[in-house]
Structure 1
Amino acid sequence: MHFKSVASVVILAAAVIGFFVTQSPQANAGEITVYTSLEEPEIADYLAAARKDMPDLKVNVLRMSTGDLGARILSEASHPRYDVIWGWALTNMMDPRIQALLVPYQPKGLQRMPAQFRDAGGKWFAPTGYMAALCVNTDRLKRKGLPMPTGWSDLLNPAYKGEVVMPNPASSGTGYLQVVSILQGMGGEKGWDFLKHLNVNVAQYAKSGSRPCNMASTGEYAVGASSAIVAMEAVKQGYPVKMVIPKEGAGYELEANALVAASTHKHDAERFLDWTISDSAVKLYGKYKEIVGIAGVRHSADETAVGLPADVKKVLFPMNFKQSMETRSQTLARWQREIEHH
């Protein structure tokens, strides 16, 4: 068990390599436990700001990758030991087994969010989201004599064999949205045929959505399929990386928040959920998120300078989240059978 202290707020890191969390922290009065799949740097920033606004509230956070967190939540279904699900893939949140663990709550300021970012029944709301993007190492492209890809179809070029890294859709929400956007966009067997041909050029499937971009940034591979926010950060940090939004349309996912029915600290949990769409929180979302579900938020000049479209909505693939949820188990089982273990 590893703990990180961030502005007097405890972050309980989840198992990735070398350690495993077997028990959630117990929350006391003025203290809640939150499960999330947000990235650690943004968690730290958000909680530091939350601490300033709510100094009397201690937030314990268990952070796991999207797929692993889903398995944990379901394993604890009969005895939930947490109060809030925060920043978790909407596709996963819509699972009826997860929905059964939640209770409706409408945070203060919810009217600022368009209808597509909140559940009509009040069981979830999604202040943020992320979209797929390719991280392309320009130095490695030049060294290997490879063309600049413009989308998924370009990556079928045999010249990219062994030069592409993708996230594993079974553990990564980013990986799943990439696979699903291809399947939904191409339709059925044509999509599966495409994924099988793409697999020929994929060197490996990383556990997290950010890892492929990190590997491309350092020059291990030419192309890392990741999310736009990770790609933009790599460019800002000075890596020889170009962000490419797939010409076929960028698959995307919304990050949803919800109140857990079994919470024994509902008042404090509701305060935290209110805070997640407060002005303090929204000001930080633009630093980490391509998609912000709060009216009036604009992207900075720095973001557009590194390749983020001025109007993100125009490049998003029209995801069917309900279909993504309903076919998740079958999709992952087939992907593992026909692609990962083929």
Structure 2
Amino acid sequence: MKKAFSKKLLGGVATTLAAIGFLTGSVSAEDLTVYTAVEAEDLKRYAAAFNEVHPDITINWVRDSTGVVTAKLLAEKDNPQADAVWGLAGSSLLLMKKEDMFETYAPAGVEKLDSRFRDNSDNPVWAGMDAWVAAVCVNTYEAEANNLPMPTSWADLTKPEYKGHIAMPNPGSSGTGFLDVASWLQMFGEEDGWAFMDDLHENISHYTHSGSKPCKQAAAGEVPIGISFAFRAAKSKSQGAPLEIVMPSEGVGWEMEAAAIVKGTKKLDAAKKLMDFIVSKPAMEHYNQGYAVVAMPGVSKPIENYPENITDSMIAMDFEWSANNRDAILAEWTNRYDSKSEPKN
């Protein structure tokens, strides 16, 4: 199933490889191939910050959505092409940890991270960066035009008046979509979770292959309601979009971005320097420009229009359960709902 899923996702994918080097003087002594699902707009900034500390190491980014990067790494397990992963869902990294795909390394300063954002095993292989939290973006203008009441819960979104008015990310290609599905199965229980998704599917207009896209579409008035993540909603609202950010009363799922060194890299010393930077305070300050919750306590600054007391809405996610059941969850979801997914680019 894993191989079939990997091949399916990789089949039509054109992965963008962008070499971003910010060198100060001489030719780079070393380069690192780094796989990521970080928003493309942030990559240049991350690389520049790293090169302020290590100007002799160039980062060659390979970026795609969470599902595609996860599938690519799994497909390359026996012939790895990446040196490191910087910014991929924690549940994906836990899946790959189970497959023994990462080098053991505890970055310098990792003990300063919140315990939820670090590998606390005797042989740590990953470290967390930040967290993104599910939210519902509602275009108030479009909701009024379509006589849609403001939802307050996940259950509300299954009501008949919302039919055809909701967009959501596909969990196979989007980390946000997967955290939604995993959280519903954990929150409601597996039987009731799938029953909820059956009802929600009746009201879905389409599934996207990007976690931010449903909220961007809601912000643009292309759909009244987008299931997305809170930071994207806050950013769109701050840019003037007529959005209401809803944190459903049952609670919301969340996921962390994390990093690791790929086992077998021939550039282990450089990869360790990268991991040391990834958990540093300067790196956390950069993450805070795109995420309200970062791994190092005391670093986060308030984000305009970000929901207050959002941690009160975050459920206790079991990331190991999500990782261990990922293939089965995606197979079941695809069988039930993939007919409404947008075409892959």
* d(CA) in 1 for partners of 2:240, 2:305: 11
Query: Where does 1:61-100 land on structure 2 (aligned, <5 Å)?
Result: 61-96=61-96, 99-100=99-100
1:179 has 2:181 as partner:
yes
Unmatched 5+ stretches in structure 2: 1-8, 22-27, 341-345
Give the 3-state SS of the residue equivalent to 2:289 in structure 1.
helix
| 1:96 Cα offset (Å) | 4.8
Give the 3-state SS of the residue equivalent to 1:151 in structure 2.
coil
Point out the more displaced range, 74-83 or 195-204.
Answer: 74-83
Q: Which amino acid aligns with 2:41?
A: P
Query: Which residue of the other structure, out of 222, 240, 248, is the alignment partner of 1:220?
Result: 222
* d(CA) in 1 for partners of 2:186, 2:281: 35
Structure 1 counterpart of 2:104 = 104
TM-score w.r.t. structure 2 length?
0.88
Structure 2 counterpart of 1:151 = 153
Runs of 4+ in 1 over 3 A off after TM superposition: 15-19, 21-25, 96-99
| 1:53 Cα offset (Å) | 2.6
| 1:45 Cα offset (Å) | 2.0
* d(CA) in 1 for partners of 2:214, 2:118: 30
CA offset digits 1:200-243 (Å, max 9, x no partner) = 00000001101111111100111100111111110111111121
Give the 3-state SS of the residue equivalent to 2:285 in structure 1.
helix
| 1:99 Cα offset (Å) | 4.3
1:20 has 2:14 as partner:
yes
Query: Where does 1:261-340 land on structure 2 (aligned, <5 Å)?
Result: 261-300=263-302, 303=303, 305-309=304-308, 311-340=309-338
Judge conservation of contact 1:24–1:81 (CA < 8 Å) in 2: no
Judge conservation of contact 1:29–1:265 (CA < 8 Å) in 2: no
1:128 has 2:130 as partner:
yes
| 1:78 Cα offset (Å) | 1.4
| 1:125 Cα offset (Å) | 0.8
* d(CA) in 1 for partners of 2:287, 2:314: 19
Judge conservation of contact 1:131–1:290 (CA < 8 Å) in 2: no
Query: Which residue of the other structure, out of 235, 238, 252, is the alignment partner of 2:237?
Result: 235
Structure 1 counterpart of 2:114 = 114
Judge conservation of contact 1:84–1:257 (CA < 8 Å) in 2: yes
TM-score w.r.t. structure 1 length?
0.89
Q: Which amino acid aligns with 2:318?
A: N
CA offset digits 1:105-136 (Å, max 9, x no partner) = 11111111122211123111102111101111
* d(CA) in 2 for partners of 1:99, 1:112: 27
Judge conservation of contact 1:164–1:221 (CA < 8 Å) in 2: yes
